[in-house]
Amino acid sequence: MTKAVNMDVQQMGKVAVLMGGRSAEREVSLMSGTGVLAALRSQGVDAHPFDPAERDLVELKREGFARCFITLHGRFGEDGTVQGALELLGIPYTGPGVMASAVAMDKLMTKRIWIAEGLPTPAWRHVHSAAETRAAFDALGTPMIVKPVREGSTIGLTKVLSADQCEAAYALAAQQDPMVMCEQFIAGDEVTCPVLGAGAQAQALPVIRIVAPGGNYDYEHKYFADDTQYLVPCGLPEGEEPTIQALVLKAFRSLDCRGWARADVMIDAQTRQPYLLEINTSPGMTSHSLVPMSARATGLSYEDLCLRVLASAALDNAMPTT
């Protein structure tokens, strides 16, 4: 059971909630940031909104911010760029560090590391054209997923059912990122599992099983629709939840993540083999988001979750004070 947080919020100092940003996920980021900001303020934290799309990050130092809660999603916020700037400014921040954030945002690099570590992930191809997408379809079979390598929230993603869809699928993904990948589709249960902490102390929270209408867990069903089911307890066959939690912890540690993250997993309906899809290093914190839902199942409120994540703020390379 995850315990509630007991801390002196005054020790947190002046906190910037980074939200908005310049990625395709700006709208979701603003929703996440608004929720986190209200939660921190309700607990007495001196928290303030800060949108890097509208203000220079140097102002964080000038205005005396002691730490940052990152609720930016996607590029320029979840990909190591903001993390690197905060390292230079010497301001501790929530979530994984520079390298872990950059690698996790790049689905190809993530897969390469997971394969090297012996962790299961669906077969894939890195493609550079519609013709290569068609060749990948012949190799990976149907259905096939085509998606941008460095984008999230299913933006630019297509589930390809026939070869004549390959050209449009590639074009849609390439609009979001010049790097495009094709991935084998795993038919079965879709689940997600958050992690809190770092290293040996990292803890996997309860697994959530996602049941979307028609199996279509797209942008609309993730953030706005009310007909998607989120099952906690997940109701998987006996023994599967701890297996997935252990797999997700290995995935988290293999990328050297810290603070928090959430891994998405597909379970093959026939073999019951779980496959890692990706890991999100700045998870959503909206009313539809999954980390708060999983945490709540352990008795950890949204407010306490925000405090716990904030307390984990750190630097990769903290310089000694002089």
- Helix, strand, coil shares of the chain, percent, nearest 5, are 40, 20, 40
Query: Rounded distance, CA 268 to CA 141, Å?
Result: 15
- Catalytic, 79? Answer no
Q: Which listed residue (262, 294, 302, 304) is catalytic?
A: 262
Single out the catalytic residue among 25, 79, 177, 183.
25
CB 281 within 8 A of CB 100: yes
Which is the catalytic residue, given 106, 278, 303, 304? 278
Of these residues, 284, 302, 304, 312, which one is catalytic? 284
Contacts of 122 (CB under 8 A, 6+ apart): 183, 184, 185, 186, 266, 275, 277
Closest to 189 (Cα-Cα) out of 207, 170, 166: 207
Q: Which of 280, 282, 289, 294 is catalytic?
A: 280
254 is annotated as an active-site residue: no
Answer yes or no: 301 catalytic. no
Catalytic residue among 264, 289, 294, 308: 264
Residue 25 annotated as catalytic = yes
Q: Which of 93, 217, 223, 275 is catalytic?
A: 223
Is 280 annotated in the active site? yes
Whether residue 317 lies in the annotated active site: no
E strands within the chain?
Answer: 14-18, 46-50, 67-70, 124-127, 144-148, 158-160, 180-184, 188-198, 203-204, 208-211, 229-231, 258-268, 274-280
Q: Which among 29, 153, 289, 294 is annotated as catalytic?
A: 153
Question: What is the length of the chain?
Answer: 322
Task: Identify whether 20 is a catalytic site residue.
Answer: no
- Our answer to whether residue 302 is catalytic in this structure is no
Task: Supply the residues annotated as catalytic.
Answer: 25, 153, 223, 262, 264, 278, 280, 284
